[in-house]
Structure 1
Amino acid sequence: MTKVSLEGQVAVVTGAARGVGELLARKLSARGARIALVGLEPEELKAVAGRLHTDCDHWHADVTDHEAMARVAQEVKERFGKVDIVVANAGVASGGPFAESDPDAWRRVVEVNLVGSAVTCRAFLPALMASRGYFLQIASLAAITPAPMMTAYCASKSGVEAFAHALRAEVAYKGVRVGVGYLSWTDTDMVRGADEDDVMRELRQRLPWPANRTYPLGPAVDRIVAGIERRKAHVYAQWWLGGMQSVRGALPGVIAAVGQREMRRFGPRLSGVATGLVGAGGAADQRERTGHTQRH
């Protein structure tokens, strides 16, 4: 597939305050793209903007808020004149047994990861149609492989994968390309936050290789940037993830058998697993919603 120069292109990155979004913004900027940062942490976004090499700006918005994202899309278009690339990266996670999960946290994972991605796409799709641009939906290994103790995250990432595949067929004739980005466990605040729980960390360590290790952020984001440059339909942040596609049909049965054994092993300890949103991003989301409730 032909490589597209990013020089002068306008890229919108959600969840840009930290982790994948922050480093992706820096690497896109280093290749000449102008960057619109979107997220919940204004001070963090401002700091990220200060580290970029090209023209950039930042917007504070909750990706699940239709009106806010419509406003952001309009302001980004006015600020930069166009939009060529949108990366729907914003996401949160929670863990623990579904039966004991926090209903609000469980719902919020689906709202941010799935609904927020659709809201983001809806807001920016007219601009992408005008530029014949590229929409990259960040999914996960969780879209390919079901995992116990991660029901909300798996449901949301399976959902965004299906959303992007369906959208691709709708908008291709308008010249818009749609990609899905897959990441395994990558060294971000989210993964480090999940690892703070002993049970979740030990369960992950018992996964078969190569899914049982945490991968460095830099090479993963380099692969995502390469996918963006080529407007790829599938972008794999770790080398082995593409091979998972060929065996995904067998994975639910395998996971069900192995998972039953592991749940029995960890059974006495499951009631102590934290069920709220994990990591610094989860904390930021909680603060945003709490502050919003207090203001209204």
Structure 2
Amino acid sequence: MSDRLNGKVVLVTGASSGIGEATALALSAEGARVAAGARRADRLAALADKAPGEVLALDLNVADQDSVRAAVAATVERFGGLDVLVNNAGVMLSGPIAGADTTEWTRMVETNLLGSMYAVHAALPHLLERKGTVLQVSSTSGRTASASSGVYAATKFGINAFSEALRQEVTALGVRVVLVEPGFVSTELAGHITDPAIRAAAQEMAASMRTLQPEDIANAVVYALTQPEHVAVNEILIRPTDQTQ
């Protein structure tokens, strides 16, 4: 274990798998006290067993504002405050706009965009008190929209816009805002796509390159969070070397 984040309290959303799980483990290894939130409680129990430091497992649905507020309150009650929010929870339900099942649009907007906004809103009073950090996990899709990813990209563009407005509001108050934009990462995300052709295309594209691993993104998160207080790493764009777009 390292002690670069010794004593810092971090809440990670979407912590049951992929980038969220890897980030929670990496921050725990740096000495942080981690609250790990997700809907899959069994996976969080396994995460807590693997982590080198103390982990508080939280049943969290970011699309539910009451659930978000309860998770933040439980984190503060257990650890005495909150220094970092890692907003990672998200779903990618790609597909063409024509003929789409719009309930999937609602789910993406509520989880990816509104969910991250709710978490910021609930956590911000505590982060202002401790001069903490908001770290938003966005995507290369927050920079470039593509066919069959219109709504997913819209949610990620929204996260980018919200994050920049937030940064302008809170940076002079000592709260840093970090935007991490991964390209193709080897996670379960593409497996959630319900359109068989789009799911197959996403998996084929991932297989055509050396994809990033969740630990690669976790390393970027650790880098941003361990900079001196006067240094704000506002944006990290991280793609696989083989990814052209």
Q: Same fold (TM over 0.5)?
A: yes
1:222 maps onto 2:223 in alignment: no
Q: CA deviation at 1:222?
A: 1.4
Q: Cα distance 1:167–1:100, how it changes in 2: closer, same or farther (>3 A)?
A: same
Partner amino acid, structure 1, of 2:105:
W
- Give the TM-score of the pair, scaled to structure 1: 0.74
CA distance in 1, matches of 2:240, 2:205: 21
TM-score (norm 2): 0.88
Which 10-residue stretch deviates more, 119-128 or 172-181? 172-181
> Which residue is equivalent to 1:236?
237
CA contact under 8 A between 1:204 and 1:212: conserved in structure 2? no
Q: Match of 2:148, as an amino acid?
A: M
1:97 correspondence with 2:71: no
Q: Tell me the equivalent position of 2:47.
A: 48
Change (3 A) 1:204 1:190: closer
Within 2, Cα distance between the matches of 1:11 and 1:75?
A: 12
Q: Which residue of 1 aligns with 2:116?
A: 117
Structure with greater Cα Rg: 1
Q: 1:32 to 1:147 in 2, by over 3 A?
A: same
- 1:90-132 per-residue CA deviation (whole Å, 9 max, x = no partner) reads 0011111111111111111011000000000001001100100
Partner of 2:14: 15
Alignment CA distance shift 1:205-1:229 (3 Å): same
Paired letter, 1:105: E
The count of aligned residue pairs is 237
- The Cα of 1:215 is off from its aligned counterpart by 2.3
Task: Indicate if the aligned counterparts of 1:85 and 1:128 stay in contact, CA closer than 8 A.
Answer: yes
Q: Distance in 2 between matches of 1:193 and 1:16?
A: 16
CA 206–119 in structure 1, closer or farther in 2 if over 3 Å, else same: closer
Q: Over aligned residues, Cα RMSD in angstroms?
A: 2.5
Identity, % of aligned positions: 31
- Asked whether the equivalents of residues 221 and 237 of structure 1 are also in contact (C-alpha less than 8 Å), the reply is no
Give the direction of change, closer, same or farther, for the CA distance of 1:115–1:123 in structure 2 (3 Å limit): same
Are the equivalent residues in 2 in contact too, given 1:194–1:201 (CA < 8 A)?
no
The one-letter amino acid paired with 1:60 is D
Shift in Å, 1:206:
6.7
1:177 aligns with 2:179: no
SS at match of 2:11: strand
Match of 2:166 in 1: 167
Q: How far 1:213 moved relative to its partner?
A: 5.5
Structure 1: gaps of 5 or more residues: 245-296
In structure 2, the residue corresponding to 1:16 is in which secondary structure? Answer: coil
Determine the structure 2 residue equivalent to 1:271. Answer: none
Distance in 1 (alpha carbons) for counterparts of 2:223 and 2:182? 14
Letter in structure 2 aligned against 1:137: Q
Query: 1:204 Cα deviation (Å)?
Result: 7.5
* CA deviation vs aligned residue, 1:49-78 (integer Å, no higher than 9, x gap): 111111221110211222221122112111
Change (3 A) 1:158 1:33: same
